[in-house]
Structure 1
Amino acid sequence: MSYNWYLIDFLLIVNFYYQIVTLDDPHDDIDPIFVGKTKRSRSKQFMYDAAFDEGATQKEVFLGTTKPLIKSVLAGFNATVFAYGATGAGKTYTMVGKDDNPGIMILTLQDLFHQMEITQNEMHYRVKMSYIEVKKLLLKGNEERTCEPTAANKTSSRSHAVLQVTVEKEAKLRQLIQRVEVGKLFMIDLAGSERAANTQNRGKRLMEGAHINRSLLALGNCINALSENRGHYVNYRDSKLTRLLKDSLGGNCHTVMIANINPTDQHFEESRNTLVYAHRAKNIQIRAKTNKYDVAQHIAEYGQIVDDLRQEITRLETKLHDYESTDHPLIQSGS
């Protein structure tokens, strides 16, 4: 949800009831099809896996959307979480947040490293990160990310930002054939869809908006084709964005779509379009599988592997001896 809407006069048109989102049409009955119908009959309801109103905290959104993906990534699966919505709907706030109120990207990284620390005695991890479209990592990337003011949003993001985290995991106790699991996590803050009339853009900003809308339209077309589940051809080549999200949408990946909307009447059309796309995305079926590969150790490493195994045997023997030297009533009664 957006946190900018309270600055001006507005009419709230969005209501939440657990996982159900209700969108009220604020327009007058100028269409004959609506004449004489009650407001309730003109409302549209959408049901999702989770719904958060403007009072939800960043931590609540993280726990309800992205937290389950971390376990999958550490198990060798690919995962994606992306924020979709109109300009000014709160996507960057949701994904990045602020210094004193971090968003999904920061909270996910914190929890990811915490989970790795829990098993650091048994597993060895390698973590790689990249912030696509800029050459630095998260904080530096956000400093350099292209942001320009529009009439709809004073700090409108003019690019799609993708934080990619790759985690390689293998057992510290080496074997002759070493099993390596590789999980990838994509966290994406999409640029906002926008109407030129709302943003009052001109020149370069107007052209940027057109390119952004074109890429988001291509994304919407892919979502429509995938949600129909009829074996239709899905054209991922329409834009760089859909090429990047190909595996996330229809491939080997656990994917979470966060739909950000502005709950006021002047953003009715944008909110409705966002909710419709999110509802269609629910019907996309993805069969994810773990990414594992075996690495045969070089013969020169066999000696070290044998030494490691001997040390492990010694450790287990010591542990067994300590256990047997302790009084255990159940064992004594059965002897």
Structure 2
Amino acid sequence: MPSIRAPANKRTTTLTVAVKCRPLTERERGRDIVRVNDNKEVIILDSDISKEYIDRIQNRTSEKIYCFDHAFGPHCTNLDVYKSSVSSMISAVVLGLNATIFAYGSTFGKTHTMVGTQEDPGLMVLSIQFLILSKSVRALMNLKSLVPALKSTVIYDLLEKSSGHLELREDPQQGIIVVGLKCIKVHSADKILELLNLGNSRRKTESTEANATSSRSHAVLEIIVKRKQRNKYRNQVMRGKLALVDLAGSERASEANSGGQRLRDGANIYCSLLA
């Protein structure tokens, strides 16, 4: 169940957690124990349906209830998620604030939530669509891949085919930057989806028991928004930054049947998530 967290700026920090429950796969049929209640609660039912009625009413079951800012059932679309939990953050970016939205969870659903498809665009596409439609806004985007390694994280430019390892540096004016990262002006939603699909095709993936194309790298889409004022402060430019992150799969080693190098890669992913 991917989580989406945002936004943050230098003055205040606000954290919102949303859970999106994905549909069951074929191998999970018969394990339908997740319920969403009132768009806030996620109920995990007791998988042992043979327990007696007296056990259930006396709370001798393993049923659990979790509360979140937003909860979405398996039939909700990415647009539903965007409207309820993301759109207000995008509006804040246009006003010059910074926001980060990231999807975290096991090996299913994160890339679909963040990138989506032509029929069900993800949060990355929907966010940039809104920014493009906003008047007096110039948007620049870049897309990079962070591959967790044993002692460091290797950074690649997903929009540049021949990209080598990129360096992370601290600039006194711009803050933390990636040297040599390609930045592209975007003017249409079709171009956005084209670039995102291109970048995702260059990400490091690997087959596991849980998913045939599990992401072994984090993908970070950064959007820099500059907006000119229309009032008497016409020379003032408001600058906001939006980061959308599709994290690598963090499935349990037992579920993915990991061992050897795959197990070590999974451990590196967990270490990089803490960073």
TM tier, shorter chain?
0.5 to 0.7
Give the conservation status (yes or no) of the 8 Å contact 2:105–2:251: no
Flag the structure with larger Rg: 1
Q: Percent identity?
A: 37
Contact 1:194 1:213 in 2 (8 A): no
Give yes or no for contact 2:24–2:32 (8 Å, CA) kept in 1. no
Alignment counterpart, residue 253 of structure 2, candidates 196, 201, 214: 196
Residues 167 and 40 of structure 1: is their aligned pair in 2 closer, same or farther, counting only changes over 3 Å?
farther
Please list every run of at least 4 consecutive aligned residues from structure 1 whose deviation after the TM superposition is greater than 4 angstroms. 172-175
1:163 to 209, 215, 221: 221
Q: How does 1:94-105 map to 2 (within 5 A)?
A: 94-105=113-124
- Residues 186-237 of structure 1 deviation map (CA, whole Å, 9 limit, x = unaligned): 1111112122222123433222111112233x2xxxxxxxxxxxxxxxxxxx
The change in CA–CA distance for 1:44 and 1:156 in structure 2 (over 3 A counts) is: same
Which string of whole-angstrom CA distances, capped at 9 and with x for unpartnered residues, describes residues 93-149 of structure 1? 1111123322111111112211x2xx3xxx3x3322111224115232111011111
Larger displacement relative to structure 2 (160-169 or 92-101): 92-101
Instruction: Quote the offset at 1:39 in angstroms.
Output: 7.0
Q: Does 1:38 align with 2:56?
A: yes
**TM-score, normalization: structure 2?**
0.66
How does 1:313-332 map onto structure 2 within 5 Å? none
Aligned pairs, number = 204
**Structure 2 counterpart of 1:130:** 142
* Alignment partners' CA distance in 1, 2:231 and 2:140: 22
Quick one: distance in 1 between partners of 2:272 and 2:57? 35
Tell me if 1:85 matches 2:105. Answer: yes
1:55 maps to a residue whose letter is H
**What residue identity is the alignment partner of 2:86?**
T
Q: Which residue of 1 aligns with 2:186?
A: none
The residue aligned with 2:202 is: 144
1:12 and 1:73 mapped to 2: Cα distance?
Answer: 38
Residue 320 of structure 1: aligned partner: none
Unmatched tracts of structure 2, length 5 or more: 1-20, 146-155, 160-194
Which residue does the alignment assign to 2:36? 16
Amino acid at match of 1:93: H
Q: 1:58 to 1:13 in 2, by over 3 A?
A: same
Q: Quick one: distance in 2 between partners of 1:4 and 1:161?
A: 25
Amino acid at match of 1:80: T
Tell me which residue corresponds to 2:22.
2
Correspondence list, 1:129-278, <5 A: 129-133=141-145, 134-135=156-157, 136=159, 137-171=195-229, 178-216=235-273, 218=274, 239=275
Q: 1:51 to 1:40 in 2, by over 3 A?
A: farther
Compute the RMSD of aligned alpha carbons. Answer: 2.6
Cα separation, 1, equivalents of 2:252 and 2:36: 26
The normalised TM-score by structure 1 is 0.55
| SS of corresponding position for 1:167 | strand
Amino acid at match of 1:154: A
CA–CA separation in structure 1 for the residues paired with 2:58 and 2:71: 20
Q: CA deviation at 1:8?
A: 4.0
User: Residue 208 of structure 1 aligns to which amino acid in structure 2?
Assistant: D
Partners of 2:23 and 2:220 lie apart in 1 by 23
Corresponding residue for residue 309 of structure 1: none
Give the number of the structure whose residues are more often helix, by fraction.
Answer: 1
SS for the counterpart of 1:98 is coil
